[in-house]
């Protein structure tokens, strides 16, 4: 959920953009990270762990912990907590370790 009234901060949200999460259309604002825009839409599970297939969300939000990896425009292991969302971006939940072989 997005904060609308805050005693100290103002959040500029002039222009709405659209991106895709597992095929579903999601609204976001420029400057938001992929993970934060998903959070605003109520989506907190971003991937599943490689061994026990447990759900994963982000933990650190600053690109340290690698818990937020998703497949973005076909590229796996994107740190969605620091990469900004863009118009038309295709974001998918990641299953375990990302496969880089297709990219190479």
Summarize as ranges the residues that interact with other proteins (CB under 8 A): 1-3, 6-9, 11, 13, 31-33, 36, 39-40, 44-46, 49, 54-65, 67, 81-82, 84
Residue 42 Cβ, how far from other proteins at the closest point, in Å? 10
Q: Closer to other proteins by CB, 36 or 94: give it.
A: 36
SS3 string of 47-67?
EECCCCCCEECCCCCCCCCCC
Cβ-proximal residues to 68 (8 Å cutoff; 6+ apart), any chain: 35, 46, 47, 56, 57, 58, 59, 61, 79, 80, 81
Nearer to other proteins, 65 or 90 (CB): 65
9 vs 104 by CB, closer to other proteins: 9
Query: Whole-number minimum distance, CB 78 to other proteins, in Å?
Result: 13
- Whether 92 and 77 have beta carbons less than 8 Å apart is answered as no
């Amino acid at each position: 959920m997005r904060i609308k009234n805050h005693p100290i901060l103002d959040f500029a949200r002039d222009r709405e953009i659209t991106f895709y999460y597992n095929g579903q259309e999601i609204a976001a604002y420029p400057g938001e990270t992929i993970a934060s825009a998903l959070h605003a839409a109520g989506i907190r599970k971003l991937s599943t762990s490689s061994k026990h297939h447990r759900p994963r969300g982000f933990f650190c939000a600053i690109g340290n912990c690698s818990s937020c990896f998703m497949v973005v425009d076909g590229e796996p292991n994107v740190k969605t907590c620091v990469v900004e969302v863009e118009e038309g971006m295709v974001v998918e939940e990641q299953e375990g370790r990302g496969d880089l072989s297709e990219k190479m």
